[in-house]
A and B are shown apart, each in its own frame.
Chain A
Amino acid sequence: MIKLGLPSKGRLQQQCVDWFAERGLEIERAEGGREYSGRVKGADGVELVLLSASEIPRELAAGRIDVGITGEDVVREKIPVWDQKVRLAAKLGFGRADLIVAVPSVWVDVDTLHDFDAAAAAFRKRHGMRMRIATKYHNLSRAFFRDAGVADYQLVDSQGATEATPLNLAAEAIIDITSTGETLNANHLKILSDGLILKSEANLCVSKTSTASVTDIEAFLALVS
């Protein structure tokens, strides 16, 4: 028996259902669709667990589910030393999103991280505070800026509508995921030319900490490969 974790609702769930359907597996929710469980028709010994998408990385890391579908961005952000806890077994071709650094389009002098760093130093001198960057990706942001040698910034937590934080004067820049860039444009932001942190998409992930039989997991992966 293995436990498969999927998002409990939304577009991502539908894409997961479609992806399995293409491989001859039918994701069937329990009677009435209220209970967050169900089964996988076409695969024996697979228990379906429906979870909030944001909890799937944690459940994989803890080994409470054996296989799950979630974005690479949240795996890397939410699981400390993620590569010891989770294996990214397959990229699924949907849920594509780039984690990027975006600044106001009106900053015609800022195109690269080098420019951003220089602007941040001057900003701090003038405003007496570090340049504010709104994000929910704190760990990935910090690691990216540390590697790039950017200083004099601060991360401001934003769990939603992050693109609007500069408009609301709550931040000067953002680090967030984008797929088409339209929301960025609409909020008067542009992506730094070297501001791509991660190209993410939905992945079939396998827990490295679960106690399920390796044979069962490999059999399931072979079935959907």
Chain B
Amino acid sequence: MARGGRAGADLTRLSAMRADIASIFDAAGAARVELETLQPADVMLDLYGEDIRARAYLVQDPVAGEQFLRPDFTVPVARLHMEQGLSPARYYYDGLVWRRQEPDVDRPTEYLQAGIELIGGADPAAEEAEVFNLIRSALGDLVDRVITGDLGVIFAAIDALSVSEVRKGALRRHVWRPKRFHALIERFANPIEPNPSQTALLSQSSVERRKVIADAGKFVGLRGEGEILERLDILDADAAEPPLSASDRAMIEAVLAVSGPSNEALAELRRICPRSMAPALGRMERRLDALAAKGIEASDLSFDATFGRSLEYYDGFVFEFRAADPALPPLGGGGRYDKLTAKLGGGAGSTAVGGVVRPEAMNAAETGA
């Protein structure tokens, strides 16, 4: 977008492009929705954590409190669906999102997104292939490269480790923070000595522990004695747990290193993954079959196991389309986010997969602007 707004021939092209994209989503049977611009801050903060404050614009309402200008459509659509949704449902939308950028980075803080979300479907592989294909069709010949990943494979690899549920939980929680994730793997493989005061506590009875806690000071804040005792029990169990085995560590690191054409990636995963990961690999295979049925060959689809780990709420298949010009932002992308619907809805949640395109990036790719 030129500084100041959209106008002239640029706006004409952009409008035609948006109409074309809408007709593609419309033909797929999706219902058009318009979403609220202001999203409740507490919902967004609970989903994304404090970092969202550095990436989205916060506005103040004297009554409603803090609100974010929507930084994407996925959460607003999922909220709308939970409020009034049918199931299964498919929605499409087209509008502005706002993102704060690092002060020294020249990226747009306001841009258009047009996308589609399929919620509550019964055939995940087919729906993933359908969304991928719709986004690909909307982008047409502007696409130079596509990259895919599957966070479901990473979660399955965590499940397959011979470690306690506590350690698995810690790894699952930090899948989206690769540096911390690898620090945890290292810590589980080569446990570090706790400090002497913690070590002393580990050998004590709960009566003794209560006394140590009482001697340590006054309770301030809302974290109570029960929570401290509970964590000491967890530390006990953790100290007694054997280190992560070399073979487990090698397995998860090998899974995360898989990269290449999807057919080769799947073959490699089948070779290195334990049998318990068969369901996750089966889902990947069914998706590749569904994509092949739409004329997209697995050998043309690059896969990178670590792709999608910065994309917060995605928990399964993820994809991104890029233009030839590396200076342009991604033209489009999307993925599966089943767990997000559970977090928003409070219940078991629904299957959910969606994708977006960025009309302005498409326009720039087309015109070289």
Contacts and interface: CB of A to CB of B under 8 A. Distances in A.
Interface of A: 80-81, 84, 104-111, 114-115, 118-119, 121-123, 126-127, 130-132, 138-139, 142, 145-149, 151-155, 166-167, 169, 171-173, 187-189, 193
B16 interface: no
B197 interface: yes
B183 to A, nearest CB: 7
Contacts of B61: none
B60 to A, nearest CB: 12
B198 interface: yes
Contacts of A139: 54
B173 A122 contact: no
A206 B138 CA distance: 52
A151 B177 contact: yes
Interface residues of B, number: 43
B173 A111 contact: no
Given A107-B223, A132-B221, A142-B50, 20 more contacts: A104-B218, A104-B221, A104-B223, A107-B216, A109-B231, A111-B194, A111-B195, A111-B197, A114-B187, A118-B234, A121-B169, A122-B230, A122-B231, A127-B222, A149-B174, A149-B183, A155-B53, A171-B221, A172-B221, A188-B217
B179 A149 contact: yes
Contacts, number: 112
Contacts of B213: 106, 108
A107 to B, nearest CB: 6
Nearest to B226: A126
Given A111-B198, A154-B45, A193-B195, A119 B179 contact: no
A123 B227 CA distance: 8
A153 B179 contact: no
A167 B187 CA distance: 34
A108 B197 contact: yes
Given A142-B53, A152-B49, A193-B195, A169 B222 contact: yes
Interface string B20-42: 00000000000000000000000
A184 to B, nearest CB: 11
A78 to B, nearest CB: 12
B41 to A, nearest CB: 11
Given A81-B104, A172-B222, A107 B54 contact: no
B200 to A, nearest CB: 10
Interface string B169-199: 1100110010111010001000000110110
Given A109-B198, A109-B232, A154-B50, A126 B217 contact: no
B50 A153 contact: yes
B201 A166 contact: no
Contacts of A155: 50, 53
A63 B358 CA distance: 38
A10 B346 CA distance: 52
Contacts of A153: 49-50
B220 interface: yes
Given A104-B219, A109-B235, A123-B227, A149 B45 contact: no
A167 B180 contact: no
Contact of A105 (B49, B104, B174, B216): B216
B83 interface: no
B241 interface: no
Given A151-B177, A166-B221, A107 B228 contact: yes
B50 A145 contact: yes
B106 interface: no
B141 interface: no
B45 A172 contact: no
A57 to B, nearest CB: 15
Nearest to B195: A111
Contacts of B169: 121
B212 A108 contact: yes
B219 A146 contact: no
Nearest to A119: B231
Nearest to A168: B220
Contacts of B104: 81, 84
Contacts of A148: 180
A123 B198 CA distance: 20
B123 interface: no
Nearest to A154: B50
Interface in B198-220: 198, 201, 209, 212-213, 216-220
Contact of B51 (A80, A142, A167): A142
B180 A149 contact: yes
B46 A130 contact: yes
A16 B286 CA distance: 71
B176 to A, nearest CB: 9
29 contacts: A80-B103, A81-B102, A104-B219, A105-B216, A106-B218, A107-B216, A107-B228, A108-B209, A109-B232, A109-B235, A111-B198, A119-B227, A119-B231, A122-B231, A126-B227, A142-B51, A142-B53, A147-B179, A149-B174, A151-B173, A153-B50, A154-B50, A155-B50, A155-B53, A167-B218, A169-B220, A172-B221, A173-B221, A189-B220
Contacts of B217: 104-106, 188
